[in-house]
Amino acid sequence: MSTITVEISEFRGKDGDEKVKELAELLESKANAKVDVTSGEIILNYEEKKKPASKAYVRVLLRKFLHRAELKDRFRVIAGKENALIIKERKPREEEE
């Protein structure tokens, strides 16, 4: 069984459980995976017989979700370890005086 992990600790801290549930539902429907949500991560589990979605495709799904939820200005998706992605809060831009 192959898995892809999405770390959401910073995302959950800012926007709560409602957005996390929406994200889990999107990933389950689009990536054709069994989704397990823990306190700090979403785990996509693929059965042996099914072809797993690529890490790049899951990243695109995460970016689309952030855009549709109007959170793209606050969060970004970065690569983690092997088969892992992280939703990280953007650093605020320093405005020139």
pLDDT digits (tens, 9 = 90+) for 26-83: 999 998 889 999 888 999 998 888 788 889 999 999 999 999 999 899 899 999 888 8
Q: Within a domain: residue 97?
A: no
Taken in order 46, 52, 57, 59, the sign of the CA dihedral is positive
Q: Within a domain: residue 95?
A: no
How high is the pLDDT of residue 97?
Answer: 59
Structure token pair of residue 16: 């709560």
Query: The pTM is what?
Result: 0.86
How high is the pLDDT of residue 12?
Answer: 78
Give 23-36 as a 3 state SS string.
HHHHHHHHCCCEEE
Q: Give the number of other CB atoms < 10 A from CB of residue 29.
A: 11
Asked whether 6 and 53 are in contact (CB, 8 A), the reply is no
How high is the pLDDT of residue 81?
Answer: 87
Q: Within a domain: residue 94?
A: no
Tell me the residue range of the domain where 14 lies: 2-89
Q: Within a domain: residue 10?
A: yes
Q: How many domains does the chain have?
A: 1
pLDDT digits (tens, 9 = 90+) for 49-64: 878 888 999 999 999 9
Q: Write the CATH number for 66.
A: 3.30.1360.210
